[in-house]
Amino acid sequence: DTGVSQNPRHKITKRGQNVTFRCDPISEHNRLYWYRQTLGQGPEFLTYFQNEAQLEKSRLLSDRFSAERPKGSFSTLEIQRTEQGDSAMYLCASSLVLTGGSYEQYFGPGTRLTVT
């Protein structure tokens, strides 16, 4: 399968613990995005990378959240000191962006986080 993969698919953690999620984009894609989706809502943008550079962060991304894409390939999203309000589906997407073109994003299956 050459699509976007995310691990783990499900994570249950206790409030106050740190969690880390991994996203592996489609191999030739240069942009990688993170979104969060709570029950009954559409996904909300969190941040995106162009290769290894983090180009934009939403104000939803509090200082407890950090994302990295160290070699421009896979990415990790870490949440420190989790809170119950962090319970959501965390979605990763990737795209191939060429100068002047339009492009679509391909999403992974998501990581469902439950904070107890």
Partner 1 sequence: DAKTTQPPSMDCAEGRAANLPCNHSTISGNEYVYWYRQIHSQGPQYIIHGLKNNETNEMASLIITEDRKSSTLILPHATLRDTAVYYCIVGYGNKLVFGAGTILRVKS
DSSP characters over 65-105 = EEEE-TTSS-EEEEESS--GGG-EEEEEEEE---TT-----
- Contact between 74 and partner 1 by CB under 8 A: the answer reads no
Which residue in 29, 32, 48, 49 binds partner 1 (CB under 8 A)?
A: 48
- Contact between 35 and partner 1 by CB under 8 A: the answer reads yes
Q: How far is the CB of 20 from partner 1 (least distance, A)?
A: 19
The contact set with partner 1 (CB under 8 A) reads 4, 31, 33, 35, 41-45, 48, 56, 91, 93, 95, 97, 102-110
